[in-house]
Chains A and B, each alone.
Chain A
Amino acid sequence: DVKVTQSSRYLVKRTGEKVFLECVQDMDHENMFWYRQDPGLGLRLIYFSYDVKMKEKGDIPEGYSVSREKKERFSLILESASTNQTSMYLCASSLLQGVTGELFFGEGSRLTVL
């Protein structure tokens, strides 16, 4: 079974802190995604990556950056956390580049920024 592992289930940070959210997948998927999930808004795409060192902005990239140094790992970085970044963050991966494959999600990281 595909496994997508997010490093932290729950985090509490202070405004202005730098936050790292780590995601690792074990099935050699080319595609990796970061979403945030907020009530009533569904899942909104922050960034995605189709290959090592490659990244593309999603719909809400402001305030975020990403890093993909290895194929299995995709990190989301909040350079200076703000209260409006309090949310559930979901990492996902999929198999096929250019052709839709199902998304496999991690368990999520619930971030609270005080």
Chain B
Amino acid sequence: GQQVMQIPQYQHVQEGEDFTTYCNSSTTLSNIQWYKQRPGGHPVFLIQLVKSGEVKKQKRLTFQFGEAKKNSSLHITATQTTDVGTYFCAGRNFNKFYFGSGTKLNVKP
């Protein structure tokens, strides 16, 4: 069945270091969304990528969608303690969202 694999499961960084999480799908996706879940909170939508090869930026966050629309990445430049949380990708195939298992980011001040 449809699967979206996400790595790494955990990442511990020093404040100011960069961070990247990767998602790979077993099949081509219509689009991919990214969510952030703060500790004790619920997932909150960050962005959606639709086009093959698309790159979008939100301040220190850069999102990429692969050419084959099977993989995506989220890169955070110069992490801050406010970036702490779990980042999920969610790939869409037809009318279903398939979530990755998430990457839990811890930022040490």
Contacts and interface: CB of A to CB of B under 8 A. Distances in A.
Interface of A: 33, 35, 40-45, 48, 50, 58-59, 90, 98, 100, 102-108
A106 B31 CA distance: 23
Contacts of B41: 107
State the majority secondary structure of interface residues on B: strand
B59 interface: no
B43 A90 contact: yes
A106 B44 CA distance: 10
B101 interface: yes
Contacts of A104: 45
Given A43-B43, A43-B90, A103-B43, 15 more contacts: A35-B99, A40-B9, A40-B101, A42-B101, A42-B102, A45-B97, A48-B96, A50-B95, A90-B43, A98-B95, A100-B97, A103-B33, A103-B90, A105-B44, A107-B41
State the majority secondary structure of interface residues on A: loop
How large, as a class, is the contact surface on chain B? 20 to 34
Nearest to A88: B42
Nearest to B100: A42
Closest 7 pairs (CB-CB, A-B):
A42-B101, A102-B45, A43-B99, A105-B42, A42-B99, A100-B92, A105-B43
25 contacts: A40-B9, A42-B6, A42-B99, A42-B101, A43-B43, A43-B88, A43-B99, A44-B99, A45-B96, A45-B97, A48-B96, A100-B30, A100-B31, A100-B92, A102-B48, A103-B35, A103-B43, A103-B45, A103-B90, A103-B97, A104-B45, A105-B42, A105-B44, A107-B41, A108-B42
A31 to B, nearest CB: 9
